[in-house]
């Protein structure tokens, strides 16, 4: 199947390309950008006049809820959400039930995802069995099964000796370790940033020190073990500063931020909006500004959706009792564009945070439109404005703090391996 | 961010918190309460037919005898039909969600819910999900708010001190975990009290509490100096387990209100406590039963204030 995407503004961060080009797809791969390859005859022509053509998005944190939580969401519903969001590759954290700690589970997940053929799924394996923080998983076998990194998801790893061993072992094999920094004692029972809103609303707080103490521990051990450490969902100004300092010391550390935390703060909780009950908690406006600055200057490498579909009943509770998380796959592109517009960041630079850079973190060959690359493409209208309507989302989780928000930028087509898997109505 | 407890005309639809509650509504409630109390014939409350034919459901997800009883008396004095539901924590363990419970109660044709729940924000949540004609009164949600307690405290202060504009008020004790303290702070600042103080060790103070408009003290001698009103808070025993305090004895020594410490306040200062008191922990019996204590008046005023809240809700929704 030969596809000709014509007259689009091609934005490809890896190749530093931002200009009007035609894209030619032959045999599921990019055959040419610019002039047609010799003898090219299109089976399908996509008119991208007035639209942008970019590599398919790569989301490094999207919970698909399988296995174990099918009542919250299914692979099918969430992969459809991914396609609608222009996301062609996604990494899923291991906090399923059971946790992704056995090669069989990983193979099953990859197999089911492949059959649906809506997006590429890259599982993140459990670092310890059952995410219990006690015994290491068989990382080599899990890697052979398809795991791209190892993580505790949101489960604590309080035993620093286990953490050290896990990092040493992963470093031996050249695997990266993905951790969300949170001291479990300081965060105990907490549901919101320990600041003025928690004080006003009487919500149990999670102090910034819960993040910085855990970060200091992780960075110290990362330095000692030379492991490739990836910090997930940084949330505070002080946390960004620690990462910045570690990077300048040459410690091998990378970092991501959830799109929610780029745009929202504790203030959005208002009168107990359970959709703003997130992990990590939304922090102060000052913290949010520091996250934006850190993303801009490269301290933070990638933006993720932190997609967490929650069933409706689990959100219909008072703030503390409501399950944490927000759906996100369909909002990753517009919220990245929103940040770029507000921060004055050129599209080429901004889109690298959801294509090239997450691909590098995962060590996968996607995220660009080079000749010969997999033809994973997102075609979007950068000027289209639309209003988020939670009930209209493809994801089974309708839980979003952005319900009713005006968004700019809308996906028109998503191509996975040279096949249109989503087309806007 | 609109205020979910006011209706479109600015009248009171629910009473969820004293935060953002307009001063005119607070004064209206206090004035209405005064009409229920015949202050000459020593605190006798008349029965009136204001809520005749209405049903008030006391829905308590957290145990409380005292608060529930005062609400029950208040509703009955207004001639309402009262239904008491002690749901406790058992219902949630049976799998019924809070929303299911609320829907069921709505179907029983209540006019008013008086709710207490262990989670902050529960009253807001219920108010968002009840049928539009039902009024919700927050009788305490987690650490967040206990507005009727704060209003009866305001009534008591006004009764003894007449004017709010020249007062120094100190709140003493476990501010961090106290819904009463939060509601008191908002009510006092709304009514124009120029100086509200909180006195507690750092372990019992929430982060950035000064942003609520209070002065922070850690020492009783300094904090109580020249105050007109002392609002004591109850200290829960579990604070000793959470490493917030070493012992009840040490707490009493430093922060318990004794006659000696009371002497730092103005000679005519009044002492208040929301009850139930821990004698010998946060307050000495000689103070609790002493001449400056108005703790029992609070209980009587509490009935009149709760009547006034119910009457205002029913009247306010018609505006």
* pLDDT tens, position by position, A167-178: 999 999 999 999
Note the pLDDT of residue B95: 64
Take residue A56 and report the two structure tokens written for it. 């398919």
Confidence of residue B92 (pLDDT cuts 50, 70, 90): low
- Alpha-carbon distances, residue B224 vs A331, B172, B212 (angstroms): 54, 9, 19
Of B1, B97, B141, which is closest to A313 when you measure between CB atoms?
Answer: B97
**What is the per-residue burial (b if ≥16 Cβ within 10 Å, else e) of A271-302?**
bbbbbbbbbbbbbbeebbebbbebbbeebbbb
User: Chain A residues with CB-CB distance to B under 8 A?
Assistant: 194-196, 198-205, 207, 270-272, 313, 316-321
Of A205, A317, A318, which is closest to B207 when you measure between CB atoms?
Answer: A205
Give pLDDT tens digits for B175-200. 999 999 999 999 999 999 999 999 99
Confidence of residue B319 (pLDDT cuts 50, 70, 90): very low
Take residue B257 and report the two structure tokens written for it. 């209100």
Nearest CA in chain B to A191: B120
Asked if A272's CB is within 8 angstroms of B124's CB, the reply is yes
Does residue B1 surpass a pLDDT of 80? no
Note the pLDDT of residue B316: 60
Of A196, A203, A207, which is closest to B120 when you measure between CB atoms?
Answer: A203
Q: What is the DSSP letter of A378?
A: E
Does residue B257 surpass a pLDDT of 50? yes
Q: At what angle do helices B179-190 and B23-36 cross, to 10 degrees?
A: 100
Chain A neighbors of B129, CB-CB under 8 A: 316
Confidence of residue B93 (pLDDT cuts 50, 70, 90): low
Note the pLDDT of residue A70: 86
Does residue A245 surpass a pLDDT of 70? yes
> Mutating which of B103, B121, B128, B178 best tests the A interface, going by the most A Cβ atoms within 10 A?
B121
Residue A183 catalytic?
no
Confidence of residue A422 (pLDDT cuts 50, 70, 90): very high
- Judge whether A210 and A151 are in contact, CB under 8 Å: no
Note the pLDDT of residue B45: 85
Note the pLDDT of residue A169: 98
* Separation of alpha carbons A274 and B125, rounded Å: 10
Note the pLDDT of residue A262: 98
Nearest CA in chain B to A322: B119
Asked if A199's CB is within 8 angstroms of B209's CB, the reply is yes
* Separation of alpha carbons A337 and A22, rounded Å: 23
Asked if B19's CB is within 8 angstroms of A317's CB, the reply is no
> Mutating which of B185, B208, B216 best tests the A interface, going by the most A Cβ atoms within 10 A?
B208
Chain A neighbors of B179, CB-CB under 8 A: 202
Note the pLDDT of residue B43: 62
Note the pLDDT of residue B98: 85
Mean pLDDT of the B132-147 span: 96
Chain B neighbors of A189, CB-CB under 8 A: none
* Separation of alpha carbons B267 and B261, rounded Å: 12
ipTM of the complex: 0.93
* Separation of alpha carbons B105 and B16, rounded Å: 19
Confidence of residue A127 (pLDDT cuts 50, 70, 90): very high
Does residue B91 surpass a pLDDT of 90? no
Mean pLDDT of the A294-322 span: 95
A74 or A24: whose pLDDT is higher?
A: A24
Give pLDDT tens digits for A130-151. 999 999 999 999 999 999 999 9
Return the top range by mean pLDDT from A381-385, B65-69, B312-316: A381-385
Please tell me whether residue A206 adopts helix, strand or coil conformation.
strand
User: Chain B residues with CB-CB distance to A under 8 A?
Assistant: 1, 4, 19, 97-99, 117, 119-122, 124-125, 129, 141-145, 179, 182, 206-209, 211-212
Chain A neighbors of B96, CB-CB under 8 A: none
Mean pLDDT of the A372-387 span: 98
Of A201, A205, A207, which is closest to B144 when you measure between CB atoms?
Answer: A201
Take residue A274 and report the two structure tokens written for it. 């359970």
B253 or B63: whose pLDDT is higher?
A: B253
Q: Where are any strands of DSSP class E within A135-244? A: 150-151, 176-179, 192-193, 205-206, 228-231
Asked if B211's CB is within 8 angstroms of A199's CB, the reply is yes
Nearest CA in chain B to A188: B242
- Mean of all residue pLDDT scores within chain A: 97
Note the pLDDT of residue B39: 61
How far is the first Cα of chain B from the last one, in angstroms, to the nearest whole number? Answer: 22
Chain B neighbors of A201, CB-CB under 8 A: 120-121, 144
Q: Where are any strands of DSSP class E within B17-101? A: 37-38, 44-45, 55-60, 81-86
Asked if A321's CB is within 8 angstroms of B142's CB, the reply is no
Mean pLDDT of the B214-243 span: 93
Least confident segment among A130-134, A271-275, B82-86: B82-86
């Amino acid at each position: 199947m030969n596809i000709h995407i014509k007259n689009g503004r091609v934005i490809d961060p890896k190749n530093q390309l931002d200009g009007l080009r035609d894209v030619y797809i032959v045999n599921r791969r990019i055959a040419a950008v610019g002039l047609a390859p010799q003898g090219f005859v299109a089976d399908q022509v996509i008119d991208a006049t007035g639209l942008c053509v970019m590599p398919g998005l790569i989301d490094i944190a999207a919970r698909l809820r399988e296995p174990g939580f099918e009542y919250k969401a299914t692979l099918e519903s969430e992969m459809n959400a991914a396609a609608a969001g222009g996301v062609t590759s996604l990494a899923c954290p291991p906090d399923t039930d059971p946790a992704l700690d056995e090669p069989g589970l990983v193979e099953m997940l990859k197999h089911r995802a492949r059959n649906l053929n809506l997006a590429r799924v890259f599982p993140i394996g459990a670092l310890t069995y059952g995410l219990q923080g006690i015994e290491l998983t068989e990382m080599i076998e899990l890697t052979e099964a398809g795991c791209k990194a190892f993580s505790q998801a949101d489960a604590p790893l309080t035993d620093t000796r286990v953490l050290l061993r896990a990092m040493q072992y992963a470093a031996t094999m050249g695997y990266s370790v993905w951790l969300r920094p949170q001291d479990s004692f300081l965060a105990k029972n907490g549901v919101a940033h320990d600041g003025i809103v928690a004080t006003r609303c009487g919500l149990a707080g999670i102090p910034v020190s819960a993040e910085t103490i855990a970060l200091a521990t992780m960075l110290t051990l990362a330095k000692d073990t030379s492991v490739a450490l990836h910090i997930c969902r940084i949330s505070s100004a002080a946390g960004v500063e620690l990462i910045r300092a570690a990077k300048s010391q040459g410690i091998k550390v990378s970092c991501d931020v959830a799109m929610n935390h780029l745009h929202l703060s504790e203030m959005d909780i208002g009168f107990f909006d359970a959709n703003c009950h997130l992990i990590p908690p939304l922090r102060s406006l000052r913290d949010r500004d520091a996250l934006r600055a850190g993303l801009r200057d490269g301290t933070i490498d990638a933006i993720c959706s932190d997609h967490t579909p929650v069933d409706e009943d689990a959100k219909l509770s008072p703030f503390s009792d409501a399950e944490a998380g927000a759906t996100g796959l369909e909002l990753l592109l517009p919220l990245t564009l929103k940040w770029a517009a507000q921060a004055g960041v050129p599209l080429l630079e901004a889109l690298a945070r959801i294509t090239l850079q997450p691909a590098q973190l995962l060590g996968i060959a996607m995220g660009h439109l080079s000749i010969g690359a997999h033809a994973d493409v997102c075609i979007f209208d950068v000027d289209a404005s639309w209003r988020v309507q939670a009930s209209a989302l493809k994801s089974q989780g309708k839980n979003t703090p952005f319900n009713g928000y005006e968004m700019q930028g809308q996906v028109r087509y998503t191509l996975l391996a040279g096949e249109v898997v989503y087309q806007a109505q | 961010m609109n205020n979910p407890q006011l209706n479109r005309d600015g009248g009171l639809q629910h009473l969820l918190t004293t935060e953002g509650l307009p001063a005119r509504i607070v004064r209206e409630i206090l004035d209405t309460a005064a009409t229920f109390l015949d202050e000459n014939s020593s605190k006798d409350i008349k029965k009136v037919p204001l809520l005749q034919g209405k049903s008030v459901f006391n829905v308590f997800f957290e145990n409380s005898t005292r608060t529930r009883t005062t609400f029950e008396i208040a509703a009955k004095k207004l001639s309402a039909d009262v239904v008491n539901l002690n749901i406790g924590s058992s219902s949630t363990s049976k799998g019924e969600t809070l929303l299911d419970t609320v829907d069921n109660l709505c179907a029983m044709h209540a006019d008013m819910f008086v709710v207490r729940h262990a989670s902050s924000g529960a009253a807001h949540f219920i108010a968002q999900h009840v049928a539009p004609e039902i009024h919700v009164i927050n009788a305490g949600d987690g650490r967040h708010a206990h507005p009727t307690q704060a209003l009866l405290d305001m009534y008591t202060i006004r009764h003894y001190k007449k004017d709010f504009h020249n007062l120094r008020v100190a709140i003493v004790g476990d501010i961090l975990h106290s819904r009463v303290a939060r509601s008191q702070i908002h009510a006092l600042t709304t009514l124009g009290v120029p100086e509200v103080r909180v006195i507690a060790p750092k372990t019992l103070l929430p982060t950035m509490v000064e942003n609520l408009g209070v002065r922070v003290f850690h020492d009783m001698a300094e904090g109580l100096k020249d105050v007109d009103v002392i609002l004591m808070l109850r200290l829960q025993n579990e604070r000793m387990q959470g490493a917030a305090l070493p012992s009840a004895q040490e707490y009493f020594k430093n922060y318990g209100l004794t006659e000696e410490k009371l002497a730092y306040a103005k000679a005519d200062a009044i002492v208040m406590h929301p009850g139930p008191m821990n004698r010998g922990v946060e307050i000495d019996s000689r103070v609790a039963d002493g001449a400056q204590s108005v703790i029992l008046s609070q209980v009587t005023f509490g009935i009149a204030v709760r009547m006034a809240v119910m009457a205002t809700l029913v009247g306010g929704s018609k505006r």
